[in-house]
């Protein structure tokens, strides 16, 4: 981060303020970890902070410290709008374009308060007064740790803040396996464990929180998988009817996309999930190595993300979407 930005932010935070902290729509472990970690840090520094999420967060993150204080815009638009309009400072964490907050975009784009962005995606938009954006990082939570250190407040990181940061690093690094996991990541993790983070319990809370229905849904997704061996690609799909059959709840499909990559020789995977309410097919892409799924999602499915993990959507039917995907895959070098 630029020295002058750090000084300006230190100045902003030197007097108590009303602060809104905003994750992206469909917040994941990194979005929830970074916003709640920052929330606890700001409270400790005398501010009035609130996390306002565009929509509900998944159940497997409900154990996170103070997740019960998170305001859900979709459920309480009047109060959330008031909080946003009264905020003197706004943090947006784990995304870099305001359309990622969905309907809340209209409100955010009208606010007069300065924005601070902390994020690790490519090509940040220019809406923030202070932007800490770096694609070298595997998670926003790792950047939040640095951000707190830049402010000279490392000693404020207690077990609660450490727990939030740990969770985001854990989930966004695929349990410390993805390529952006560095020695520094592990040194930060070591520091967090020394602060008391329950490093064996948290992965259990996050990953071993399944229901029978979720396992059956996973089984169905694995059975639906199609392998395009010549193109080193595997994909699967879940229709709304299948989701309903297994009493799907938010978060149940998280991580299923990765299974395709466990097949020897497969370097590109996708999952297509029907959302009847929004009339879209939500898509997740993953790759191993050089194939850039961020570009693929941007070019073909109105999405984006990172080189090895991205998402997008399609307004075509499931069948048409899958056909389009197969057609695209057959024409590119993977
Ligand atoms: P996931 O597949 O886990 O939903 O998302 C993987 C990555 O792609 C995340 O970094 C997420 O922020 C990004 N991503 C997912 N969906 C979209 C989308 O519709 N648009 C953009 N720009 N990025 C997305
Ligand atoms: Mn992230």
Domain ranges for the chain: 3-206, 212-330
What pLDDT does 251 receive?
87
Mutating to test ligand 1, I would choose from 304, 306, 313, 321 the residue with most ligand atoms within 8 A of its C-beta, which is 304
Q: Which two tokens stand for residue 138?
A: 């595997």
Report helix, strand or coil for 24: coil
Mutating to test ligand 1, I would choose from 27, 97, 310, 312 the residue with most ligand atoms within 8 A of its C-beta, which is 310
CA of 106 to the centre of ligand 1 (A): 20
CB 242 within 8 A of CB 220: yes
Q: What is the pTM of this model?
A: 0.92
Residue nearest to atom 24 of ligand 1 (CA): 311
What pLDDT does 149 receive?
98
Please give the chain's pLDDT, 334 residues, in tens.
999 999 999 999 999 999 999 999 999 999 999 999 999 999 999 999 999 999 999 999 999 999 999 999 999 999 999 999 999 999 999 999 999 999 999 999 999 999 999 999 999 999 999 999 999 999 999 999 999 999 999 999 999 999 999 999 999 999 999 999 999 999 999 999 999 999 999 999 999 988 999 999 999 999 999 999 999 999 999 999 999 999 999 889 999 999 999 999 999 999 999 999 999 999 999 999 999 999 999 999 999 999 999 999 999 999 999 999 999 999 999 9
Which positions ≥6 away from 140 have C-beta within 8 Å?
A: 30, 31, 33, 34, 93, 94, 118, 119, 120, 168, 172
What pLDDT does 210 receive?
87
DSSP 169-234: HHHHTTTTTSTT--HHHHHHHHHHHHTT--TTHHHHHHHS---HHHHHHHHHHHHT-EEEGGGTEE
Give yes or no for residue 304 CB within 6 A of ligand 1: yes
Residue 125, CA atoms < 13 Å, CB-side half-sphere: 12
Closest atom of ligand 1 relative to the 121 alpha carbon: 10
Q: Which two tokens stand for residue 95?
A: 């995304």
CATH of region 212-330, choose from 3.10.310.30, 3.40.50.1970, 3.40.50.720, 3.30.160.70: 3.10.310.30
d(CA 208, CA 214): 11
- CATH tag, 3-206: 3.90.1640.10
């Amino acid at each position: 981060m630029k020295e002058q930005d750090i000084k300006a932010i230190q100045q902003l935070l030197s007097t108590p303020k009303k602060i809104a902290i905003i994750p992206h729509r469909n917040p994941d472990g990194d979005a929830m970890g970074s916003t709640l970690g920052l929330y606890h840090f700001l409270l400790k520094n005398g501010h009035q902070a609130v996390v306002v999420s565009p929509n509900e967060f998944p159940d497997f993150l409900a154990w996170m410290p103070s997740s019960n204080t998170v305001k859900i815009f979709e459920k309480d638009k009047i109060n959330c709008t008031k909080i946003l309009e009264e905020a003197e400072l706004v943090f947006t964490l784990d995304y870099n374009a305001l359309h990622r907050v969905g309907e809340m975009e209209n409100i955010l784009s009208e606010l007069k308060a300065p924005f601070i962005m902390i994020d690790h995606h490519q090509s940040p938009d220019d809406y923030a007064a202070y932007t800490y954006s770096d694609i070298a990082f595997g998670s926003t939570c790792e950047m939040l740790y640095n951000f707190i250190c830049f402010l000279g407040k490392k000693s404020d990181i207690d077990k609660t803040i450490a727990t939030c940061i740990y969770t985001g690093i854990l989930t966004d690094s695929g349990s410390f396996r993805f390529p952006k996991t560095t020695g520094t990541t592990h040194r930060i993790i070591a520091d967090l464990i020394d602060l008391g983070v329950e490093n064996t319990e948290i992965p259990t809370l996050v990953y071993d929180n399944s229901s029978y229905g979720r396992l059956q849904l996973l089984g169905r997704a694995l059975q639906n998988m199609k392998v395009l061996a010549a193109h080193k690609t595997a994909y699967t799909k879940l229709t709304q009817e299948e989701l309903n059959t297994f009493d799907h709840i938010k978060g149940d499909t998280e991580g299923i996309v990765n299974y395709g990559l466990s097949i020897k020789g497969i370097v590109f995977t996708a999952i297509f999930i029907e959302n009847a309410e929004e009339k879209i097919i939500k898509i997740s892409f993953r790759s191993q190595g050089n194939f850039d799924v961020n570009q693929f999602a941007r070019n073909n499915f109105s999405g984006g993300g990172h080189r090895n993990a991205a998402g997008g959507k399609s307004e075509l039917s499931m069948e048409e979407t899958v056909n389009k995907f197969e057609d695209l895959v057959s024409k590119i070098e993977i």
